[in-house]
């Protein structure tokens, strides 16, 4: 009878431990979501935290995305621009070593695009920046994102609502020509 009782106690203990693990995991997930409201974005070839770079380090969006104030596309920085800092800052870190490898091979980093607009849509970052529109209006609070997620729907209704709210033109030919 003792053997059966020990087995029963062992099962109850295993069930309690399993329940504790499940509850702990759930609490950690809920707690993480309260602290960090954004889901993990698209996995990139190198881990890059906008939260660290633009949030904590306060690097301006235009430093890396220097095409935004003069062209349709904001652009991605050349690897050499990343190395302005990372030739000295944490060069031994594995992702930064990979950054150096891209540079040595003279290859751009194949970042995965987050925002997509249809081909029949014309959009100018330059025009929006000149009009005083903050990047966060469309891209969300990137300063809180480790991996960038599409924070707003890139659909005509979103754009038209914003234009109306800000007394900007809603002429179709402004964006579709």
**124 and 64 in a common domain:** yes
**169 and 137 in a common domain:** yes
Rounded Cα distance, 74 and 64, in Å = 9
pLDDT at 5 over 70: no
Is 14 part of any domain? yes
**26 and 65 in a common domain:** no
Q: Are 109 and 46 in contact (CB under 8 A)?
A: yes
Rounded Cα distance, 74 and 134, in Å = 13
Is 44 part of any domain? no
Q: Are 101 and 117 in contact (CB under 8 A)?
A: no
Full-model pTM? 0.73
Average pLDDT over residues 11-23: 80
**64 and 28 in a common domain:** no
Lookup: tokens for 4: 């059966």
**3 and 69 in a common domain:** no
Is 45 part of any domain? no
**10 and 55 in a common domain:** no
**68 and 138 in a common domain:** yes
pLDDT category of residue 12 using cuts at 50, 70 and 90: confident
**119 and 69 in a common domain:** yes
Extract long-range pairs of 119-124: CB within 8 Å, 24+ residues apart: 120/176, 121/175, 121/176, 122/72, 122/174, 122/175, 122/176, 122/177, 123/72, 123/175, 124/71, 124/72
**63 and 129 in a common domain:** yes
Is 88 part of any domain? no
pLDDT at 102: 97
Is 85 part of any domain? no
pLDDT at 32 over 90: no
Task: Print the domain residue range for 30.
Answer: 1-35
**67 and 30 in a common domain:** no
pLDDT at 34: 44
Is 171 part of any domain? yes
Average pLDDT over residues 40-52: 91
Q: Mean pLDDT across the chain, nearest whole number? A: 88
Rounded Cα distance, 69 and 111, in Å = 21
Rounded Cα distance, 169 and 164, in Å = 7
Is 81 part of any domain? no
pLDDT at 61 over 90: yes
Kindly give, in sequence order, each residue whose CB lies less than 8 Å from that of residue 143, ignoring residues fewer than 6 positions away: 50, 51, 54, 55, 136
Kindly give, in sequence order, each residue whose CB lies less than 8 Å from that of residue 116, ignoring residues fewer than 6 positions away: 154
Average pLDDT over residues 14-36: 65
Q: How many domains does the chain fold into?
A: 2
Is 60 part of any domain? yes
> Which is it for the CA torsion 144, 146, 148, 149, positive or negative?
negative
> Rg (Cα) of the chain, in Å, rounded?
24
**54 and 1 in a common domain:** no
**159 and 122 in a common domain:** yes
């Amino acid at each position: 009878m003792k053997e059966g009782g020990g087995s029963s106690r062992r099962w109850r203990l295993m069930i309690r431990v399993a329940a504790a693990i499940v509850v702990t995991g759930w609490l950690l997930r809920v707690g993480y979501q309260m602290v960090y409201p954004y889901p993990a974005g698209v996995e990139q070839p190198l881990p890059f935290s906008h939260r660290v770079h633009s949030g904590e380090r306060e690097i301006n969006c235009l430093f890396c995305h220097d095409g935004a104030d003069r062209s349709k596309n904001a652009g991605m920085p050349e690897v050499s621009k990343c190395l302005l800092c990372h030739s000295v800052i944490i060069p031994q870190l594995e992702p930064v070593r990979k950054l150096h490898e891209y540079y040595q091979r003279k290859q751009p980093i194949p970042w995965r695009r987050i925002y997509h607009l249809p081909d029949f849509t014309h959009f100018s970052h330059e025009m929006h920046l000149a009009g005083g529109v903050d990047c966060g209006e469309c891209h969300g609070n990137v300063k809180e994102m480790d991996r960038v997620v599409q924070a707003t729907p890139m659909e005509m209704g979103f754009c038209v609502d914003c234009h109306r709210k800000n007394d900007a033109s809603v002429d179709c030919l402004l964006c579709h020509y």
